[in-house]
Amino acid sequence: MNEPTTVAPALWIALLHHPVVNREGRVVATAITNLDVHDIARAARTYRARGYFIVTPIERQRALAQRIVEHWCEGHGALRVPERGAALALTRIASNVDEVIASVTRETGQRPHVVATSAHADRVTIGFNALRERVRSGTSVLILLGTGWGLADDVFSGADDVLEPISPPGSDYNHLSVRCAAAIMLDRLLGSDG
């Protein structure tokens, strides 16, 4: 692996396990999924995002996430698959979105532009191209992703923008896994111009 040749984009991702909704639309806290931790960390590292936050208010779940990260960054996993530690080193654990915003603000000296995401188009305020331009212009951007059936209302009302859904032409199905949705978003926002 060579050193990156340019400054990494000022983009952070946060995966929320609360407040999110379940299938029936009720606000719940979901459990951490091991592959969400790994896959999104690997995608974040590939696209040179600055950080990836695992967000849950449940202390035991935060401890679990911490153990996963430590296993791959310092433990047996780091010896066996060192490139996994390079990805998981981007991962941080937080209790809620305010903690995430505070952490990014401490790091950069300015509050990030907070962007909620959804599989539905009803609250959209910004498209991929416009957000890509904002990232390119140097704005610090924090993307919020929801587990379960998506982010709860409170998250949308607290965000600066809501990103358009990933909606391929002619598609009648919007049930991507959050892992795949995160990867596609990173590719659209930080990938090459093709």
Chain residues binding a copy of itself by CB under 8 A are: 1-6, 8, 23, 35, 38-39, 42-43, 45-48, 81, 83-84, 86-87, 128-129, 166-177, 179-184, 186-188, 190-192, 194
Nearer to a copy of itself, 42 or 62 (CB): 42
Q: List strand residue ranges (DSSP E) for the chain, in order.
A: 11-16, 20-21, 27-28, 51-55, 91-94, 113-116, 141-146, 161-162
> Least distance (Å) from a copy of itself to the CB of residue 129?
6
> Least distance (Å) from a copy of itself to the CB of residue 73?
15
> Least distance (Å) from a copy of itself to the CB of residue 148?
12
Nearer to a copy of itself, 53 or 97 (CB): 53
Nearer to a copy of itself, 11 or 64 (CB): 11
What the block records as the tokens of 101 is 């915003």
Work out whether strand 113-116 and strand 51-55 pair parallel, antiparallel, or are unpaired. Answer: unpaired
Exposure string of 131-161, with b = 16+ CB inside 10 Å and e = fewer, is: bbebbeeeebbbbbbbbbbbbbeebbeebeb
Nearer to a copy of itself, 84 or 92 (CB): 84
Longest Cα–Cα distance of the chain, Å, equals 47
